[in-house]
Amino acid sequence: MFAYLKQPDARETVTIEFEGRALAVREGDTVAAALLASGVDIFRSTPVSESPRGPWCMMGGCFDCLLEIDGVPNRQGCQITVSEGMTVIRQQGARRISP
């Protein structure tokens, strides 16, 4: 479990929606950092065995932080910065293709 350190932080608050829940996070955060800081540890389930996963490397190398962000599946949460109103859901198994 992660959280923001209790210390002064001049950054603006940004609100994103995760699985239908509003989360107040900080400007400039990656989606992965914002979710971890909000107590989310499971990001996705694998397409192979549907086992749960969360971020491993935080530097774009491992692809364990995949999420569906603003309707686009399989995006790397650790490489994308939050923006106001962004909607995020877990990536469950293999991605779907919309018509």
Residues engaged in binding another protein (CB under 8 A): 1-7, 9-11, 26, 28-30, 33-34, 36-37, 41-43, 46-49, 51-64, 72, 74, 78-79, 81, 93-99
HSE, CB side, 13 Å, CA atoms: give it for residue 96: 7
All residues at 6 or more sequence positions from 39 whose CB lies less than 8 Å from its CB, including other chains: 1, 2, 3
Q: Which is nearer to ligand FES, 13 or 47 (CB)?
A: 47
76 is a site residue for ligand FES (CB under 6 A): yes
* Least CB distance to ligand FES at residue 76 (A): 5
> At CA 74, angle to CA 71 and CA 79, rounded to 5?
100
